[in-house]
Structure 1
Amino acid sequence: MSDAHRAWMASLPETMELPGLLLVHGTQRSDVEHFLETVEPGGMRHATEAEIADRLGDANTPLTLCGHTHIARQVRLADGRVVANAGSVGLQAYDDDHLHLYRVENGDPRARYLIVENGAATVHMVAYDHEPAAAKAAREGRGDWAIALRTGRMTT
């Protein structure tokens, strides 16, 4: 990436609110906090409804779109608010050590994306030629990413 690309990315807002929609990377509190998952010493688990509601805080939008974990899923809270994660277009598995060591594995190399129509979010998966990216990862010394790109897992 060029310096101009980095500057443009740095200029973007961390969150964006549109009518009926809140957009965040992690949560509105932090880019590295997970919205729909909770990291613990033993790994990562689905967040409880209470944890998700706490992370939403006083955000009163019907739909919140998040990312960060690369895990495509959505949760509807008892009050009707929905939080949806589109997943990842590229990397379907990775290891991380933020807070505690944990692993994400979607088990499928297909790209994920999300479409919102009439206030409802739908996750889609599509196959793509992931081999060029996997080969480049291997050449660059990231054999773990090469496996993840090919399989959606961290090990074969």
Structure 2
Amino acid sequence: MKIAVVSDIHGNVLALEAVLADLKSEAPDLVVNLGDCVSGPLWPEDTAAILRDTAWPTIRGNHDRIVLEDPIEKMGPTDAFAAERLSSESINWLKTAKPTIRLDGEIFLCHGTPDNDDRYLTEKVEGPKGHLPDEETLLAELKGEKSPIICCGHTHIPRVIRLQKTGQTLLNPGSVGLPSYEDDHPNKHKMEAGSPHARYAVMTKSERGWSFQEKILPYDWDAASKEAEKNGRLGWARALKHGFFGPLS
């Protein structure tokens, strides 16, 4: 059994196309999408159109929820850009995304934590950066979720974490379309993958158990950066070009 896990595409259709090309050679039995599909100053409708055709099981991310539920005038620029450009077909597709999904009783899919799409599971914000949480923090954030494998996104930082007390594995595939960002919640901080590549993960079950592979793919990130710059988002432009957040120098 081979499962590909994608997350946090954020409207970056060029990065998504690189993942799709790589998936042809990987030939997984299933692809799952952990959400935050379209929000960003890039190509929200083009991205949604591709995802509509894939029919991948899809989780609703926090930005997907905002695009669907908040008035445009109350959205930040990232979500408003997407909301103003999505077709009715894409909005209806996004409405089909689920808060969480269970696969065969063994795998649990969520965007943030099992009960909150806007909380980090595999990062703990201390100072200006995210850091690997300790096991007690991770167990507390799971809120009793017992699935052997828990797949989450939201942080944009790839992680594979095995909990000693429970034997559970937490997988975060990183972000397909946005390798770094800045946020004010719970306090001002940056998440930075450190390179501009598109990322996803592949998990494969054999007689010895599950193995995990991080996929790190080149694509035309200069074009993505220029698109963000054209749309007035210089922080995004540098993030897409370099994997670090900040204005273009």
**Equivalent residues in 2 for 1:21-36, closer than 5 Å:** 21-36=107-122
Structure 2 residue 194 is the aligned partner of structure 1 residue 107: yes
How many aligned positions are there?
156
Q: Secondary structure at the match of 1:53?
A: helix
Select the structure that is richer in helix.
2
Report the residue type matching 2:97 in the other structure: L
State how far apart, in whole Å, the 2-side matches of 1:87 and 1:9 are.
Answer: 21
Q: Give me the TM-score of the superposition, normalised by structure 2.
A: 0.59
Over the aligned positions, Cα root-mean-square deviation in angstroms equals 1.5
Q: 2:184 is matched with which residue?
A: 97
Q: 2:101 is matched with which residue?
A: 16
Kept in 2, the 8 Å contact 1:43–1:100? The answer is no
1:81 to 151, 158, 168: 168
The runs of 5 or more residues in structure 1 that have no matched partner are: none
Q: What is the percent sequence identity of the aligned residues?
A: 33
Select the structure that is richer in strand.
1
Which structure has more relative contact order (CA 8 Å, sep 6+)? It is: 2
Q: Secondary structure at the match of 1:132?
A: helix
1:53 to 139, 148, 155: 139
Kept in 1, the 8 Å contact 2:102–2:109? The answer is yes
Report the residue type matching 1:31 in the other structure: D
The runs of 5 or more residues in structure 2 that have no matched partner are: 1-85
Q: Give me the TM-score of the superposition, normalised by structure 1.
A: 0.93
Kept in 2, the 8 Å contact 1:88–1:112? The answer is yes
Q: Could you list the structure 1 runs, at least 4 aligned residues long, displaced by more than 3 angstroms after superposition.
A: 40-43
State how far apart, in whole Å, the 2-side matches of 1:41 and 1:73 are.
Answer: 20
